Amino acid sequence: MFSFRNLLGTKVGIIGTAAFIGGAAALLQKWGNPGNMGICMACFTRDISGAIGLHREGLCQYLRPEILGFVLGATLAAWVFREFRARGGAAPLLKFVLGFLAMIGALAFLGCPWRAFLRLAGGDGNAVVGILGLAAGIWIGALFFKGGYRLRPASPTSLWEAWLAPIIILAFLAVRLFDPPIPGQKASALLFYSAAGPGAAHAPLVISLAAGLAMGFAVQRSRFCSLAAFRDLFLFRYATQFLAVVALATTAFATNLMLGQFHPGFAHQPVAHSMGLWNFLGMAVAGLAFALAGGCPARLLALAGEGDGDAATFFLGMLVGAGASHDLGWAASSQGIGPAGKAAVVTAMIILLAIGFAMLEKPFKNLSNFLMSRFGNRLSAGNN
């Protein structure tokens, strides 16, 4: 039965949530956020990682209020609608590893799934290759699901444990409020701040925080998930989430046109590179990692806000993965990705395939049965 409680959970609500995110992201870019990066769960997590000293890349250090607001908005929505539930224990260390590996892929492409569509909406042709890679990674994940990949269900935990993530986010926000950037300096008393580059490009604090709160609230209520856009199509032929990401890109595109922010092409796009193979492989790695973890980074952040300790552990993995990617030379830049980054992407894909196979209920039996059911009939028909 329809009610205000489930308004955003309807088909119209899910698509409307995505459209709001697309328009808000374009406006955040107008108000100061980096080009084609009004909101990005990967890039902004990387900036937070730098702000707290997990990496020392001076161009990518800023405690992004959008991410802080996003988690708190999800917590508020879950609390208001009595959906805040303490749970965890569904392979937390694996979730940490998946978050770490997801960042290797995302920082090879330079963006999360949301940013892939936002880059496309801003005219970046390289985003098409990244979106194809994202779809490929999620498709591989769908094959594992059909072959029996499962994580055990989360179990109830203490309420105190569930509140740890929101409390940590509140602590970060307090530090940001009382330890602001100092003009002309790269560090304040506790945080690191970029003096140039994408980390130095940001919308005003109040606007960024308000946008994050609104997005987190809406995503928690709607369950909008960019991973589900492809997964639901591959597994169930269910198109609502896919229509939602189309709405996100369309609204961002229209807003960019109105604001003069649409610049089509492949070269000289903001915070992007044109190495097509590695854009594809990077997002394939990220897509597979998100699929095995059970959601896109935004959806997992919303789950962390509503009491899911495993989702919070995934985010910690992203933070550490961002730090390692920059300090070890794995992350791409506007000039492209180096040898160490290429090796990291390939290694991450191998590890993810091994995880997917190892987590099948009956690895050899289920996978072989699935492959035979999927491809055996075609081979037989071809031989005849």
The overall average pLDDT reported for the chain is 93
pLDDT value at residue 182:
77
Which residues touch 160 (CB under 8 Å, ≥6 apart)?
Answer: none
The structural domain count of the chain equals 1
pLDDT value at residue 153:
86
CA distance linking residue 298 with residue 111, whole number of Å: 12
Within a domain: 381: no
pLDDT digits (tens, 9 = 90+) for 110-144: 999 999 999 999 999 999 999 999 999 999 999 99
Within a domain: 376: no
Within a domain: 380: no
Within a domain: 163: yes
Within a domain: 115: yes
pLDDT value at residue 240:
97
Residue 180 scores a pLDDT above 90: no
pLDDT value at residue 383:
55
6 pLDDT band, cuts 50/70/90, is confident
pLDDT value at residue 361:
75
CA distance linking residue 252 with residue 247, whole number of Å: 8
pLDDT value at residue 365:
59
Scan for tokens 């809406």, then name that residue. 218
Residue 1 scores a pLDDT above 50: no
2 pLDDT band, cuts 50/70/90, is very low
10 pLDDT band, cuts 50/70/90, is very high
Partners of 87 in the beta sheet? 156, 308
Higher pLDDT, 18 or 361: 18
Residue 82 scores a pLDDT above 80: yes
Scan for tokens 């594809």, then name that residue. 280
Within a domain: 377: no
Q: Torsion angle, CA of 153/237/295/340, rounded to 10 degrees?
A: 120
* CA 372 distance to own-chain centroid: 33
To the nearest whole percent, how much of the chain has pLDDT over 70? 91
Interhelix angle 339-358/126-146, rounded to 10 degrees, is 20
Strands 87-88 and 155-156, how do they pair? antiparallel
C-beta separation of 100 from 324 below 8 A: yes
- Other beta carbons less than 10 A from residue 272's beta carbon: 26
pLDDT digits (tens, 9 = 90+) for 192-239: 999 899 999 999 999 999 999 999 999 999 999 999 999 999 999 999
Within a domain: 383: no
Residue 150 scores a pLDDT above 90: no
pLDDT value at residue 189:
73
C-beta separation of 202 from 32 below 8 A: yes
To the nearest whole percent, how much of the chain has pLDDT over 90? 85
Which residue range forms the structural domain that includes residue 58?
4-370
Residue 92 scores a pLDDT above 90: yes
Q: Tell me the one-letter amino acid at 234.
A: F
C-beta separation of 212 from 220 below 8 A: no
Name the least confident of 152-161, 253-262, 354-363. 354-363
Within a domain: 378: no
Flag whether the pTM goes above 0.75.
yes
Query: What's the average model confidence in pLDDT over 252-257?
Result: 98
pLDDT value at residue 181:
82
pLDDT value at residue 3:
55
CA distance linking residue 119 with residue 296, whole number of Å: 17
